């Protein structure tokens, strides 16, 4: 990809106007760029953030082309763009991230295959098309195992935890609707993630290693820096992946730390990631700034952390509880994405707290969450 250094005044076109598109747009605007956004939802979080909003489906080729026509560079927050459409856009317009990497990572099976081929450590897995294939996998690796949809899954959706073989008698996995992979369910010591940005010209910057706590398979808190330091190993695994897959822009590698201390790659998000949101307040440049700079091939500074940080997601259920006090905490950097439809498990916003005492902040935030059970 030839480098096109675009200066302020150029237009950044973003496919997808959810919270990631909105925060990308905010970074681009702050740096003096114009922004155009396309999203199927008329009241998407980023619908009023940029200069132009196109209300259209992700499969609407004419609408996508008009986004491209008015933009000098195209990026996406939405990673499930149809392959044919993406190839057309990459062929006709300036899409520095290209098509191949996002298409490989759209599908859990091709994603895992690519990670495995890169030599990075990965939890044993197999593509499965029937319960018998899952039985054969259990035969080899024993339970528990987790079955995951190969396409379209997020926040644990489309996943089936199988704790004993007899559960296969009652589980209903829609094999006719999607491809599936089964993988060994491992007892986790921690989960960590590494956010990286790579420019068109190949400059790589790493954010500090993030420790992630999940609740019901949805990210709940991110603690930075991670309380266990796997930075060197995580960067090494990521380098292997970067040799195998061509990245441009911000991306995040999620890792499992097993009880025995070994590190496995879980999955890769080829876009800014929820576990990198803390960087807006806690780092000299945010993952969104790094994304914009890297797709425009501007040199990035080395990333550093101003102060340790805790990010907590605000799901609909959290907002119900915290509405009254949301803006009363002096140390809370509150982000509300502006989604009109509040649902209990939907990500509605997040809060970042900078702190000199992580443990104290965690327990202080914990007290707020105790209200859940009152
Ligand atoms: P999603 O695309 O929904 O984020 P993930 O594969 O990252 O899917 O799974 C969501 C969460 O479920 C993980 O962050 C982890 O907490 C748990 N999980 C998934 N796979 C495993 C596994 N093989 N062993 C242990 N925990 C797992
Ligand atoms: Mg995940």
- Exposed, middle or buried, 323 (CB in 10 Å: 0-12/13-18/19+)? exposed
Judge if 11-95 and 188-368 fold alike in CATH terms: no
Q: What is the pLDDT of residue 157?
A: 87
105 lines ligand 1 (CB under 6 A): no
Q: Ligand 2 centroid vs 155 CA: distance in angstroms?
A: 6
pLDDT confidence bin for 261, thresholds 50/70/90: very high
Average pLDDT over residues 239-260: 97
The tens digit of pLDDT for each residue in 300-358 reads 999 999 999 999 999 999 999 998 999 999 999 999 999 999 999 999 999 999 999 99
258 lines ligand 1 (CB under 6 A): no
Fold topology of 124-184: Dna Ligase; domain 1 (3.30.1490)
Residue 372, pLDDT above cutoff 90: no
The tens digit of pLDDT for each residue in 142-192 reads 999 999 999 988 888 899 999 999 999 999 999 999 999 999 999 999 999
Residue 2, pLDDT above cutoff 70: no
Supply φ then ψ for residue 10, to 5 degrees.
-70, 160
Nearest to 245 by CA among 102, 37, 138, 49: 102
156 lines ligand 1 (CB under 6 A): yes
Query: What per-residue string of b and e applies to 27-49 under the rule 16 or more CB within 10 Å gives b?
Result: bbbeeebbbbbbbbeeebbbbeb
Residue 281, pLDDT above cutoff 90: yes
Q: What is the pLDDT of residue 217?
A: 87
154 lines ligand 1 (CB under 6 A): yes
| Lookup: tokens for 6 | 């675009």
pLDDT confidence bin for 1, thresholds 50/70/90: low
333 lines ligand 1 (CB under 6 A): no
How, if at all, do strands 180-184 and 333-336 pair?
A: unpaired
Residue 373, pLDDT above cutoff 50: no
Query: What per-residue string of b and e applies to 177-196 under the rule 16 or more CB within 10 Å gives b?
Result: ebbbbbbbbbeeebbbbbbb
Q: What is the pLDDT of residue 369?
A: 44
The tens digit of pLDDT for each residue in 178-228 reads 999 999 999 999 999 999 999 999 999 999 999 999 998 899 999 999 999
188 lines ligand 1 (CB under 6 A): yes
The tens digit of pLDDT for each residue in 109-128 reads 999 999 999 999 999 999 99
Q: What is the pLDDT of residue 45?
A: 98
Q: Ligand 2 centroid vs 271 CA: distance in angstroms?
A: 13
Please give the model's pTM, rounded to 2 decimal places.
0.95
Q: Give, for 127, the enclosing helix (H) or strand (E).
A: strand 125-128
Using alpha carbons only, how large is the chain's radius of gyration in Å? Answer: 21
The tens digit of pLDDT for each residue in 77-105 reads 988 899 999 999 999 999 999 999 999 99
| Lookup: tokens for 114 | 């690519």
Residue 251, pLDDT above cutoff 60: yes
Give the residue whose CA is nearest to atom 17 of ligand 1.
217
Supply angle C-alpha 84, 85, 88, rounded to 5: 90
- Cis omega before residue 225 (within 30°)? yes
CATH architecture of the domain 11-95 equals 3-Layer(aba) Sandwich (3.40)
Report the nearest atom of ligand 1 relative to the CA of 158: 3
Where are the chain's structural domains?
Answer: 11-95, 124-184, 188-368
Give the residue whose CA is nearest to atom 14 of ligand 1.
217
CATH architecture of the domain 188-368 equals 2-Layer Sandwich (3.30)
The tens digit of pLDDT for each residue in 12-63 reads 999 999 999 999 999 999 999 999 999 999 999 999 999 999 999 999 999 9
Average pLDDT over residues 137-143: 97
Q: Which of 156, 212, 213, 264 best tests ligand 1's pocket when mutated (most atoms within 8 Å of CB)?
A: 156
Supply angle C-alpha 303, 305, 311, rounded to 5: 115
In whole angstroms, what is the distance from residue 147 CA to residue 171 CA? Answer: 11
In whole angstroms, what is the distance from residue 103 CA to residue 244 CA? Answer: 14
Q: Which of 146, 162, 190 best tests ligand 1's pocket when mutated (most atoms within 8 Å of CB)?
A: 146
> Among 6-10, 266-270, 286-290, 350-354, whose mean pLDDT is lowest?
6-10
Q: Give, for 258, the enclosing helix (H) or strand (E).
A: strand 249-258
Report the nearest atom of ligand 1 relative to the CA of 187: 25
- Cis omega before residue 129 (within 30°)? no
pLDDT confidence bin for 367, thresholds 50/70/90: low
């Amino acid at each position: 990809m030839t480098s096109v250094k675009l200066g302020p005044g150029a237009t950044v076109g973003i496919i997808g106007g959810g919270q990631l598109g909105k925060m990308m747009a905010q970074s681009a605007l702050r740096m003096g760029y114009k922004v155009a956004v396309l999203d199927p939802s008329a009241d998407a979080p980023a619908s009023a953030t940029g200069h132009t909003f196109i209300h259209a489906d992700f499969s609407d080729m004419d609408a996508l082309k008009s986004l491209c026509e008015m933009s000098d560079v195209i990026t996406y927050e939405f990673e499930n763009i149809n392959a044919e459409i993406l190839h057309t856009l990459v062929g006709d317009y300036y899409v520095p991230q290209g098509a191949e990497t996002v298409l490989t990572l759209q599908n859990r099976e091709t994603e895992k295959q690519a990670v495995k081929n890169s030599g990075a450590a990965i939890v044993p897995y197999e593509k499965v098309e029937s319960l018998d294939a899952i039985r054969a996998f259990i035969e080899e690796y024993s339970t528990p195992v987790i079955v995951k949809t190969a396409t379209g899954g997020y926040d644990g959706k489309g996943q089936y935890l199988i704790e004993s073989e007899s559960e296969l008698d009652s589980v209903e996995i829609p094999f006719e609707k999607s491809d599936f992979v089964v993988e060994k369910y491992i007892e986790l010591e921690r989960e960590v993630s590494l956010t990286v940005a790579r420019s068109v010209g190949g400059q790589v910057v790493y954010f500090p290693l993030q420790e992630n706590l999940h609740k019901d398979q949805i990210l709940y808190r991110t603690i930075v820096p991670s309380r266990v330091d796997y930075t060197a190993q995580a960067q090494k695994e990521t380098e292997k992946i970067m040799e195998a897959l061509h990245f441009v822009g911000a991306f995040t590698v999620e890792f499992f730390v097993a009880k025995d201390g070994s590190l496995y790659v879980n999955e890769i998000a080829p876009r800014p990631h929820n576990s990198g949101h803390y960087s807006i307040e806690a780092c000299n440049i945010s993952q969104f700034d790094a994304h914009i700079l890297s797709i425009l091939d501007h040199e990035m500074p080395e990333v550093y952390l101003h102060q340790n940080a805790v990010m907590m997601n605000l799901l609909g259920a959290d907002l119900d509880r915290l509405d009254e006090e949301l803006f009363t905490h002096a140390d809370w950097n509150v982000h509300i994405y502006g989604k009109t439809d509040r649902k209990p498990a939907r990500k509605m916003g997040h809060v970042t707290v900078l702190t000199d005492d992580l443990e104290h902040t965690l327990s202080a935030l914990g007290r707020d969450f105790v209200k859940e059970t009152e």
